[in-house]
């Protein structure tokens, strides 16, 4: 008699990767992982990357196979350094104020829609998150960071206004006021202590810890998790969109943002990284 033995391999985790020009997209066990991929520019958020990120979050939010969305940055230095100052400077030179207002509105709306995404979002904070990246990271539902994580909410230092609709909802009014008024750096330990980071782990464990949380969320019933998020946002007292609109209206009618040339003279003098 001849015996035939079949060896069954263990089930494989579902893994799918795609890449746009500036954004890496990966799917693992019902979790969409979106990686800002401009490491040589500290993942600065130019228009193209911002548009790709917004589109990817929108796609993941509509995908029934996705239960949680994770955002992170490529490299070991930065989640993101914020807006692309070189691009902003060129925009100031070639566009009218009306055009700049339209571009700013599109960018701001994209950030709002990421923050208001119906599915849970987690920031995997692998490095600095400054300026516009402070807005982005604080608009997410949760953040997991490592010892390289740091935050700066720099708008007031540059003649601009942002993050008023995100940060107070995460860490409370008194601390949010301090950080928004001063623009000082918040390092990893303090970020964890004040609730800006939900978890703080060694950098070598950052991805595993983040996916531990994200997959746990993704395994739950989508409608229940999304319902909890919707109700929590409604429970803010004034809905998130109205808070965002208040900031947007103020910055377009009362206190217009400073031009890049005036806002970032030191950076421009240093000739910071370009593509």
Model pLDDT, residue 24: 98
Evaluate if residue 16 carries a pLDDT over 70.
no
Cβ atoms of 126 and 149 within 8 Å: the answer is yes
Model pLDDT, residue 178: 98
Mean pLDDT of 72-101: 92
The chain-wide mean pLDDT, for the chain, equals 87
Domains located in the chain, CATH noted: 15-268 (3.90.226.10)
178-229 pLDDT, tens digit each: 999 999 999 999 999 999 999 999 999 999 999 999 999 999 999 999 988 8
Share of the chain above pLDDT 90, in %: 61
Model pLDDT, residue 14: 47
Global pTM reads 0.82
> What is the number of other CB atoms lying within 10 angstroms of the CB of residue 199?
17
């Amino acid at each position: 008699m001849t015996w035939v033995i079949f060896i069954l391999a263990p089930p494989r985790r579902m893994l799918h990767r795609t890449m746009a020009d500036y954004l890496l997209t990966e799917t693992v066990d019902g979790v969409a992982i979106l990686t800002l991929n401009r490491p040589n520019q500290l993942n600065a958020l130019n228009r193209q990357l911002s548009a790709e990120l917004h589109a990817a979050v929108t796609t993941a939010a509509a995908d029934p196979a996705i239960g949680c969305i994770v955002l992170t940055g490529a490299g070991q230095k930065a989640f993101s350094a914020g807006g692309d100052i070189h691009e902003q400077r060129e925009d100031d030179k070639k566009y009218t104020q009306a055009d700049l207002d339209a571009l700013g509105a599109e960018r701001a709306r994209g950030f709002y829609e990421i923050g208001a995404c119906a599915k849970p979002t987690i920031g995997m904070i692998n490095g600095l998150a400054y300026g516009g990246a402070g807005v982005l990271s604080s608009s997410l539902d949760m953040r997991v960071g490592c010892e390289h994580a740091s935050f700066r909410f720099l708008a007031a230092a540059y003649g601009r206004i942002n993050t008023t609709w995100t940060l107070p909802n995460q860490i409370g009014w008194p601390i949010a006021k301090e950080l928004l008024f001063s623009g000082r750096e918040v390092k990893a330990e303090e970020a964890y202590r004040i609730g800006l980071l939900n978890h703080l782990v060694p950098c070598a464990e950052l991805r595993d810890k983040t996916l531990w949380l994200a997959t746990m969320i993704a395994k739950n019933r989508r409608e229940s998790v999304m319902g909890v998020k919707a109700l929590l946002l409604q429970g803010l007292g004034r809905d998130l969109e109205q808070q965002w609109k208040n900031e947007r209206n103020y910055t377009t009618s009362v206190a217009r943002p400073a031009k890049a040339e005036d806002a970032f003279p030191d950076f421009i003098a240093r000739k910071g990284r370009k593509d």
